[in-house]
Amino acid sequence: MDRHLFVIFGATGDLARRKLIPALYELIAGADAWDSCRVLGVANSPLTDEAFQARATEALAAAGHPDAAEWVAGHFHYQRATEGFDALGDRIRQLEATHSMPGNRLFYLALPPSVFDDVIAGLGNAGLAEAPGWVRLVVEKPFGSDLASARELNGLIHRWFPESSVHRIDHYLGKETVRNLLVFRFANMLFESAWNRDRVKDVQVTVAEELGVEGRGRYYDEAGALRDMVQNHLTQVMSLVAMEPPATFEADAIRDEKVKALRSIARIDVDDVVRGQYDGYQDDPSVPAGSTTETFIAARIDIDNWRWKGVPFYLRTGKRLAKRTTQVIIEFRDPPVCLFDREGSCQVHANILALTLQPHEGFELLFDVKEPGERIQLRTLPLDFFYEEEFGPLPDAYTTLIRDVIEGDQTLFVRADEVEESWRLWTPIVDGRRDLPVYPYEPGTWGPAAADHLLAGHRWVIR
């Protein structure tokens, strides 16, 4: 691991405490590379280095690392944001000189999007987009709130930072099962040869959460499920499922194919979108009264290319649903003729491939077998594989992604044209969504019934 300075903007925030600092620790402990990284926390609060170290130590203890105090005390520093970017530059150079560091710098924007612009411009104007070593800029989601704002943000970033140094985070791409989708598809001839309109009836991506908005209403009510989850996480998963095989396993070859899949979607029809809001959402004190923001969304998407023409892709996500699960379902076509009737109805079920991305990560392939006995009685059973049983616990997505940033691998990060393609699709829906009804749904269910009607002739599947 290259020695570097890890600068966290928003160092006193929730993301830094819950995810970034623990992920960094796990990475460094895993590589036994204790001296490879120094952290410079930047935030508005007037903290000393020691006070920041105490917070970081506490965050690590809460994440199950009670013995981190010594490492933190030797490697964590703090700089108040209000002192400005020139002062920040001086501090960076001073730390690098004192600790004989090679000048590799990673700037992580763990900030609300409203201040992205100021920080990016501040870094650029202070000459911090260049360094004696490498520079990497990490931008958290949401990246823009529509196509125009995403383009503007890309333009601003590119004034100073070349695309090769920009890492737009979508933490779903760091999940092990999401990464394995590519291996699953392109290392296994069996599945890839059936991964098309000849064999597949529909594709579904469900990201269901049990939790509600839990006090995040100020952010969430403005974003809604569409901006919070669909434009980024669900669209990313969909493009990995839909993309063509890349020419190589390199970042740009893979991202080219993802962009091509998105470009094959002419548009999303507003009539193919269903919005819902769970009962009780407006009781959360952080949510404005009378809000019509969606906490649930389902959509049907048509990918008009040779592989997928005619195969509907259904996406849905929601808060306060029946259970926490993220699944990709590939539902295969029915056999052309049913040989196994019973009392006038066909006993045969379509094969289903269920890829569970969380929480019980694994794959299941459902197929029909004959129950023992004289009568022909069919039963659907799974061929399955679960990560935990085979490999033990999986790393957190942030650990994977931060390692990739440090190594300069952009495969699991969203490229500028990719984020714009995604916004091209979703901006008309964002703009028009207030005209769509928002159906109430009971917490603990699968959302409003209208989401089932969207599937005419198909049905939602969950394992």
Residues forming contacts to ligand BG6 in the complex (CB under 6 A) are: 171, 209, 228
Nearer to ligand BG6, 53 or 295 (CB): 295
- Which helix (H) or strand (E) element contains residue 127? none
**Nearest distance, CB of residue 329 and ligand BG6, angstroms:** 17
CA triplet 241, 187, 354: central angle to 5 degrees?
A: 45
Residues 20-44 as b/e (b if ≥16 CB within 10 A, e otherwise) read bbbbbbbbbeeeeeeebbbbbbbbe
Q: Assess contact for 414 and 236: CB atoms under 8 A.
A: yes
Tokens 């389902």, residue located? 298
**Nearest distance, CB of residue 111 and ligand BG6, angstroms:** 14
Nearer to ligand BG6, 209 or 421 (CB): 209
**Nearest distance, CB of residue 207 and ligand BG6, angstroms:** 6
Q: Assess contact for 265 and 259: CB atoms under 8 A.
A: no
Nearer to ligand BG6, 65 or 171 (CB): 171
Nearer to ligand BG6, 126 or 462 (CB): 462
What's the DSSP call for residue 413?
Answer: S
**Nearest distance, CB of residue 255 and ligand BG6, angstroms:** 20
What does the alpha-carbon distance between residue 319 and residue 211 come to, in Å, rounded to a whole number? 6
Instruction: Report DSSP letters for 177-211, one per residue.
Output: HHHHHHHHHHS-HHHHTT-STTTEEEEEEEEE-S-
Nearer to ligand BG6, 135 or 237 (CB): 237
**Nearest distance, CB of residue 79 and ligand BG6, angstroms:** 27
- Residue with smallest beta-carbon separation from ligand BG6: 228
**Nearest distance, CB of residue 209 and ligand BG6, angstroms:** 6
Nearer to ligand BG6, 18 or 263 (CB): 18
Active-site residue list: 233
Question: Phi/psi class of residue 343: alpha, beta or left (left: φ > 0; alpha: ψ in -120 to 50)?
Answer: left
Phi–psi pair at 198, nearest 5 degrees: -70, -30
Instruction: Label the pairing between strands 312-318 and 200-208.
Output: parallel
Take residue 29 and report the two structure tokens written for it: 């402990």
Residues 257-282 as b/e (b if ≥16 CB within 10 A, e otherwise) read bbbebbebbeebeeebbbbbbbeebb
Residue 436 CB-half CA count within 13 A: 26
What does the alpha-carbon distance between residue 60 and residue 304 come to, in Å, rounded to a whole number? 48
